[in-house]
């Protein structure tokens, strides 16, 4: 719901991978220093068990668990991981009400920070954690983890959501070319379709992927100022700017041959199954999603930058869209172990352990780009750090979760319904407006 200040706005710099900020941040957290001073003996958190809950499964979970393993080896703590699944709020709500939340939760929507702060479910971060945030993050990222003037969370994972991934061999076989404009993308899609390859594998069973698509189109066609207004519900979803964006989405949704399995197949395909369909099963040519697609290439054998390539999300209007997302680590039990884990995740050291895994971008300005596994990821990481004027944060993630972040409700369901019936633009707008109005009044 906040406007992205110029210092944190990113531009898509895919031509060169300059160093991401300075590299002067300390890589040693107090917990790490305690461990080092122990000389290999007793470690500061030995005997303590910490539970952390996050949405990740599969390869993303495995990559995060490598970070947790490094923390365990350094501190002596035992960390258990619980997956919340797609609906983090539905998982955490009953546990909070029952007085048994996880020690640490990683929230996929900054809007949840405000929600849980209002419920007194979050613990303020320790001074050591705040020191890491001030040392390693710009004020904007700090603001996204704050509520009511209090810092409760730290952005531990960023996402670049304005990308289209494509399978090079499918493009070569069809004679299709990467696109720089929406019209060119539709031409390439038609070329792929004519060759017998459905152009898009849509992950529409995961409703957030449809909000990502809408946001890129809307930012490009309506511009940054209108994007900010719609984010705050200062203009209604029945506005003509929304109509324009939905009509562009309908250029895909309205052609069954453009989607693997048609609309029915798309609505039965979750993320990351759509990635598997493109690269492992070779059933489609493109998947529209963020940098973390790289973490789901799995056993496909597709290498980033070779068979698995990306194009910036094409310009649909006057603005080249760049949408950022992120995951916020918060403390729900004020224990030494919980604070130490969040401190580690906020540190340069923790970020660099994670950066070695595919499908990860750090908002930590002191994480060296040399840690990323390929040149393309280094370049994308630079977009998180550098400055520009039109980048915006994921709109649905800033909305009340009842509208922008709940499976089967609000914007997720409304856009799924629109995929089922893309001819009813007006009806989709009216439903979106009704759900938004209800959620923003609470």
Give me the phi and psi of 206, to 5 degrees please.
-95, 100
User: Where does residue 7 rank: exposed (0-12), middle (13-18), buried (19+ CB within 10 A)?
Assistant: exposed
* C-alpha–C-alpha distance, residues 427 and 414, integer Å: 10
pLDDT in tens, 222-244: 999 999 999 999 999 999 999 99
Q: In whole angstroms, how large is the CA radius of gyration of the chain?
A: 21
Q: Which of 68, 76, 62, 66 is nearest to 31 (CA)?
A: 76
Contacts (Cβ under 8 Å, ≥6 apart) of 225 = none
- Give the tens place of pLDDT for each residue, 374-393: 998 998 888 776 645 678 89
Give me the pLDDT at residue 389, please. Answer: 64
The pTM assigned to this predicted structure is 0.81
Residue 333, class by beta-carbon neighbours within 10 Å (0-12 exposed, 13-18 middle, 19+ buried)?
middle
Cβ-based neighbour number of residue 136 at 10 Å: 24
Query: Where do the domains of the chain lie, and which CATH numbers do they carry?
Result: 29-159+323-378 (3.40.190.10), 163-321+399-441 (3.40.190.10)
pLDDT of 298: 84
- Regions of the chain short of the pLDDT cut 70: 1-41, 385-389
Taking the C-alpha atoms of residue 205 and residue 265, their distance in angstroms, rounded to an integer, is 9
C-alpha–C-alpha distance, residues 347 and 291, integer Å? 22
């Amino acid at each position: 719901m906040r406007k992205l200040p110029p210092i944190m706005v990113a531009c898509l710099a895919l031509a060169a991978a300059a160093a991401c900020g300075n590299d002067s941040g300390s890589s040693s957290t107090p917990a790490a220093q305690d461990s080092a001073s122990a000389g290999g003996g007793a470690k500061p958190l030995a005997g303590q068990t910490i539970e952390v809950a996050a949405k990740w499964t599969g390869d993303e979970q495995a990559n995060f668990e490598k970070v947790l393993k490094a923390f365990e080896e350094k501190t002596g703590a035992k960390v258990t991981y619980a997956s919340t699944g797609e609906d983090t709020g539905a998982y955490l709500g009953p546990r909070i009400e029952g007085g048994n939340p996880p020690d640490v939760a990683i929230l996929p929507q900054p809007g949840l920070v405000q929600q849980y702060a209002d419920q007194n479910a979050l613990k303020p971060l320790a001074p050591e954690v705040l020191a890491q945030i001030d040392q390693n993050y710009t004020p904007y990222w700090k603001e996204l983890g704050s509520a009511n003037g209090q810092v409760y969370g730290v952005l531990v994972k960023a996402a670049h959501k304005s990308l289209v991934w494509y399978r090079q061999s499918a493009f070569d076989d069809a004679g299709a070319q990467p696109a720089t404009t929406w019209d060119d993308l539709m031409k390439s899609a038609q070329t792929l379709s004519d060759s017998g390859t459905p152009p898009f594998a849509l992950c529409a069973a995961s409703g957030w992927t449809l909000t990502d698509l809408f946001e890129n189109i809307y930012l490009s066609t309506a511009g940054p100022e209108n994007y900010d207004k719609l984010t705050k519900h200062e203009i209604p979803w029945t506005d003509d700017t929304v109509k324009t964006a939905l009509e562009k989405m309908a250029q895909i949704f309205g052609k069954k041959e453009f989607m693997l399995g048609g609309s029915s197949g798309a609505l039965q395909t979750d993320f990351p199954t759509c990635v598997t369909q493109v690269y492992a099963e070779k059933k489609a040519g493109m998947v529209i999603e963020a940098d973390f697609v790289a973490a789901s290439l799995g056993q496909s054998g597709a290498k980033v930058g070779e068979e698995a390539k990306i194009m910036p999300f094409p310009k649909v209007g006057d603005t080249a869209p760049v949408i950022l997302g992120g995951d916020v680590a918060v403390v729900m039990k004020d224990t030494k172990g919980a604070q130490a884990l969040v401190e580690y995740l906020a540190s340069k050291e923790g970020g660099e352990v994670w950066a070695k895994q595919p499908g990860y971008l750090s908002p930590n300005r002191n994480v060296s780009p040399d840690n990323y596994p390929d040149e393309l990821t280094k370049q994308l990481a630079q977009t998180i750090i550098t400055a520009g004027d039109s980048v915006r944060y994921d709109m649905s993630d800033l909305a009340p979760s009842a509208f922008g972040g709940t499976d089967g409700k609000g914007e997720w369901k409304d856009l799924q319904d629109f995929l089922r019936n893309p001819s009813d633009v007006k009806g989709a707008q009216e439903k979106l407006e009704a759900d938004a109005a209800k959620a923003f009044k609470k």
